[in-house]
Chains A and B, each alone.
Chain A
Amino acid sequence: MADAPKVEGASDTAHLYEGKTIRSSAPSRKKAAGRLKSSTEIPVDAIPEIHVPSWIESFFGGPIVSSMKFLPANNTVSTLQMASGGVLILLTFLTFVITPVTGTAWFSLANAVGIPILGGILHIVILAVGAVGGIYGIFQRDQRALLISYVALILVTLRFAGSKVEFGLNLLPEGEIAQKFLLILYALFLVMYFELTSGIIRFSMLDTSIRTGEVYVMGEGKIIRQYHRAIGITPLVAGAVALLTLLINLIVPAIVGIFDSVQAARLSESVELTSVYGVALGTAFVFTIIAGAFAINLPLRIQQMQEGRSN
């Protein structure tokens, strides 16, 4: 890279050059003649600095992970780091106990090469990458490591399950509702892990911007309290909605049972309803209701009602 232009006595306007191209009209032919050298080599400063986006950046419309350097973590960020670390440990444990190696691609591969234990080792390695990458990403606030951790933790769950709920450990509950609770708990921990770790980056960015004077925050405590409240409430709501969706194989027969107990009994024994397709049906039901709520602009009406009440 060419040296930065040296500008004397420009302290008052120095910020104008930072990261900006120095403007100029087209050079005169005389100047061009003056610049002409015998060699055909392109002068270094004649090549503008252009950031060519990688294919993945082009795909997503910009850099996925910013390379911003953060200032030392403040209280909020430290708390989030501790919470994320805790959630990650629990998530890793839950992932380990509810995700068996059977049905995974590496399990098939290991069996194919005749070393069945390799499948298990690979399974543990992927899980370890997710955990170690996550811990590193959380405490170093490295978004690349966090991204690797996300991918590893999702990758480890990719297996052909044949509609059966199977766990990695045999001592886990056999009851359907308990199993689904456990699945939802796992899913909630995974989502909370995503959210808390992205919260670390977001609040680090905010804190850096505040401390560099780019942003001014009024009522910081209230804003953080609101985030904490949301962190507490949203998983409960999401968990409840997911539970409704997953328990559709119990809810539908119960509703049908009011009118016809025989049909209800048939439905409760239906393989489709208890399988993953039952969950799909539940998703369709629940999200149709939610879509309806959006269609009638329910959030806006609720807010108008709240405003009216406080008036």
Chain B
Amino acid sequence: MAWSRKSAMFAALAIALYLLGLVLRNQQLVTVAVVLLSFLTYAAFRTTHADVASSGRRIDDAEADAGIQLQTIVAMRKLSSARVFEDGEIDVVLRIQNRSTLSKVLEVRDRVPEVMRIKKGANYVLMELGGRKETEIAYTIEAPLRGFYTIGPVCVRVQDAFGLFHNEREIHLYDDFLVFPKMEDIKDALIKSRVPKIFTGAVNIRNPGEGTNFYNLREYIPGDPMKKVNWKAWARSGKMMVNEFERDAVSDIILIIDSRGISETGPVSRNSLVYSTRAAASLAQYFLSRRDSVGLVTYGDEIVSVDRDTGKKQLYVILTKLAGAMAKGNTPLKVVTNRILPHINRGSPIIIMSPLEDDPTIMDAVRDLRARNFDVTILSPSSLEFEFDARRLDRTGYEVLKTERDILISELRGLGANVMDWEPDMMLVTALAGARGF
């Protein structure tokens, strides 16, 4: 049984008045004190007292000491979904059963993660629950941010009518759910690999082969099918010419996410890491839908990678990793590239999502990638913009840092990387198009 602040104040007042009454020999004060103490005692009596020491119970029986009023309460919870995307909703139904024959007035609070918003209903209910009855508490939560979350425990409280004492118990009922980053629909990422793989796919790679997009004209070689003959070109040049097409193939796409501590600079829901994970999720979905093989690397305090693979299962593996990406540590990009370069095919497109801050190895890392003929695209959500929008950076500071950032981006472009200074409100498709120079 726990005391509320009110009961503590009442008790303190009663004791003070009692002692003062004795000192001043004032029966009036003593009477008030006695009435106050009687009032408190009766309220405590009604709240069901269960003291371990006084009842001589063993400490192992502490569960029973939560009071008989709470032992008979049972909770069960059901979620509408265990996986949602950002801004998605989850319906929660909490069933509370009173297995006792006596009616109870209960306060029930189903603990939801702090960032979640209650969209409909309430997770905090004050109720009168009759004997051997059950009730359902239904509410809807909205998940605004990616991550792993847990609903629970269920806190049940019984208190006296005056709010002086209460018995409280946590029912250890937990339900986990996952919030994936929000995805944007990408129509064309404009990223093509120069490295063919043996399987044909939906992606044009910049090599001649079987495909649908025109690549170039060449002279006829015996064995070429007649349907490839370009009659107009033959007539014009006098030589038998055939059309060549770009080879459609599966390519390896590597997504690298910077999840260092610095990537979370800015507001909780508007920072580089949030944008990067959303971009990575959208790109992964897009490439996987083209039957590409997509791999993911996140680096912060450690390097976490998801091996390249294809298919819907791979999308969920990537989304799960993205949901759990935490802004921690300060691993340089160079360490990441050194670690992964031996394992990826030369020429594969690499998309790096990083705020490009506080990492002196960025230039070296990109130079290395370019030297090995990787097609490097850098999407850089600008934390300067987040900070400036949140008015945490003054105009002068912003201008200086912006200039420094522009210089770095120009240098990276000079190495042949496609870099986009991604401003907060720019759509991913636009940012990608900008990065590729369209």
Contacts and interface: CB of A to CB of B under 8 A. Distances in A.
Contacts of A294: 44-45, 49, 51, 54
A147 to B, nearest CB: 10
Given A25-B327, A30-B401, A242-B35, A230 B160 contact: yes
Interface string B11-31: 001000110111011111111
Contact of A8 (B17, B43, B129, B389): B389
Nearest to B21: A276
Contacts of A238: 35, 38-39, 42
A78 interface: no
A54 interface: no
B261 A217 contact: no
B161 A227 contact: yes
A22 B397 CA distance: 20
B392 A297 contact: no
23 contacts: A6-B390, A9-B425, A13-B145, A17-B267, A23-B267, A25-B261, A25-B327, A26-B262, A31-B387, A31-B401, A158-B20, A159-B26, A187-B31, A199-B162, A213-B122, A215-B126, A218-B125, A238-B35, A239-B35, A241-B34, A246-B27, A297-B55, A298-B45
Contacts of B358: 28, 30
A93 interface: no
Given A186-B28, A217-B125, A241-B41, 17 more contacts: A5-B390, A5-B392, A7-B267, A10-B269, A13-B144, A16-B268, A183-B28, A190-B32, A209-B124, A214-B124, A226-B128, A239-B35, A246-B34, A275-B25, A276-B25, A300-B67, A300-B68
A188 to B, nearest CB: 6
Interface of A: 2-3, 5-10, 12-13, 15-17, 20, 22-28, 30-31, 33-37, 43, 45, 60-62, 98-99, 103, 154, 157-163, 165, 180, 183-184, 186-188, 190-191, 194-195, 198-199, 202, 206, 209, 213-219, 222-223, 226-227, 229-231, 234-235, 237-239, 241-242, 245-246, 275-277, 279-280, 283, 287, 290, 293-300, 303-304, 306-307, 310-311
Nearest to A292: B54
Nearest to A31: B401
Contacts of A239: 35, 38
Given A7-B390, A16-B144, A24-B392, A234 B39 contact: yes
Contacts of B32: 154, 157, 186-187, 190-191
B87 interface: yes
Interface residues of B, number: 93
B48 interface: yes
Given A163-B25, A300-B50, A303-B68, A154 B391 contact: no
B265 interface: yes
Nearest to A32: B397
Contacts of A295: 51, 54-55
Contact of A5 (B10, B45, B389, B401): B389
A277 B17 CA distance: 14
B319 to A, nearest CB: 20
Contacts of B357: 28, 30
Nearest to A199: B162
A216 B123 CA distance: 8
Contact of B269 (A13, A202, A310): A13
Nearest to B357: A28
B162 A307 contact: no
B267 A34 contact: no
A222 B137 CA distance: 18
Interface stretch (B100-108, B194-202, B217-225, B234-242): B100-108
Given A16-B269, A24-B266, A241-B41, A7 B389 contact: yes
B127 A283 contact: no
Contacts of B387: 24, 31
Nearest to A157: B28
A184 B10 contact: no
Contact of B261 (A26, A62, A188, A235): A26
B292 interface: no
Contacts of A206: 126
Contacts of A235: 39
A15 B25 contact: no
B395 to A, nearest CB: 10
Contact of B18 (A27, A31, A283, A290): A283
A186 B31 CA distance: 9
A33 B397 CA distance: 7
B26 A160 contact: yes
B312 interface: no
B126 A217 contact: yes
Nearest to B30: A279
Contacts of A229: 161
B115 interface: yes
A237 B42 contact: yes
Contacts of B404: 30
Interface string B340-381: 000000000000000001100000000000000000000000
